[in-house]
Each structure stands twice: as C-alpha cells, then as structure tokens.
Structure 1
Amino acid sequence: MSSELNILAIYGLYTALILLLQVTGATAQLGMGYLLSSRDEHRTLTGITGRLDRALTNSVTAMALFAPAVLILALKDGFGHASLVAAQVFLVARVLYVPAYGLGLTGVRTLLWLVGFAATVVLYLMALMAG
C-alpha cells in the first residue's frame, strides 16, 4: 500500500474518531433517549459539541473530495513525491482543522480548511496529468 493510500486510511480513522467524540458530546447534551428516537423534533447542539458536529460534517465532505483524487492517482499509477507531499499537507491541515474549529479559532480554522482544500485540488490536477 502506498503512503498516499495510508494517508487516506489514517484520515478515515481520524474522521471516525471525530464521529465518536461528536456522539459522546451529543449524548451528554441531548440524552440517549433523543439519540435513539426518530429525531422528528430537531434539536441543536451548542458550544464545542455543536462546533464538533459541524467539523464532522466538513470532515466527511473533505473525505468525499480527497478519496477519489487519491484513488484515481492509484489507478493511474500516478503517485510520486509531489502527490505524497500534497497528501501529507492535506492530512496535517485536516487534523489541525478540527481542534481549531472546536476551540472557535475562526481565522486559523479557515486557513487550515483552505490549505487542505488546495492540497486536494493539487491532487486532482496531478490525477488529470497522470498516465
């Protein structure tokens, strides 16, 4: 397995960890009864749990964009030093993004999002140029 694919797997596990943290916070705020219900009545998460919920949604979106770029490069045998660096930049930016979001560091959060997104775009451009 290439390093880029390992990074994809690591990011998947990281997103699963974010989900566990979000569920833990949601359980504390909303109670197990609400979480087990059909949730017809909408309740809003607040504070750090609310920010973690939004960070989770953003992380899943980032995964939906990042994964195809890496998989296309894998299919085209297009991995190289530049794709590894782009994947590493993505991972670092995304790992730092969640605590920045959770702590309400708005400017830092936005910069980290932009860096991760730019790294993903670079991977797609590499995929288009590969084999």
Structure 2
Amino acid sequence: MKSSSKAASSATEMPVATAPRKALTLPPKPAPAVTAPIIHAPTVVPATPAATTTKPVSSPAPRADVPPASGFTLLVDGHFKNQFETLAQAKQAATELKSRFPILRIAVYDAANKERLPV
C-alpha cells in the first residue's frame, strides 16, 4: 500500500510556478562602416567585326565512332581522328604521332577501300 500512497501524493503535488523568462535575442549588429565608393574611369572598347557579325551555322562535328566516307583518317586507339586528302599526308602524321607516343595504337583508315593500314 505504500506504493499507492506515494502515487497519490505525487499526483496531488502542484508544479512550482516560476517567473516568465526573457526571450532570447541576438546581440545587435554593429553599423557597417561607410566608405566612399571607388569610381573607375569608363573604358570604351571598340566593337570588333567578329562580335558584330553572326557566324554561319555549320554541320555538326563528325562523330569519332562513324567511319568517314572519303579520304584517309588516323585511327588512334580505335577512334577516328584527323582526316587527310592523301595517303602520304596521313602516313606522315601517323609516323610523327607514333614517334612522339610509341605506346599508342595508330593506323590509317582508307575510306575508299574501307581498310585499315598499319603504321
């Protein structure tokens, strides 16, 4: 029965009334320092012809995974890169690139015969 008397006495206790607290606020910000604005002399840039003319819309860039229809193209690690008109130009570019980067797999693609020529 002791436990019931404790429960009854705690239920009858009234909460202690406290004085209302002041609301919490942030301290006021200091006033910003006023400085004179820096005024730069205006600079006039003459209009260039390239800025005033519009460029014609060109066809999109050729895709690297689609073989070209004509000419000779460098194949670098299986990707089509630069395109050349003659086989001599393509081979010269391929040998120069191979001498600079010997680890690359470089070939010349002949679009007319649809074959790859090793370098």
TM over 0.5: no
Q: Which has the higher strand share?
A: 2
Give the shorter-chain TM-score range: under 0.3
Compute the TM-score of the two structures, normalised by the length of structure 2: 0.19
Q: TM-score, normalised by structure 1?
A: 0.18
Counting helix residues as a fraction of each chain, which structure ranks higher?
Answer: 1
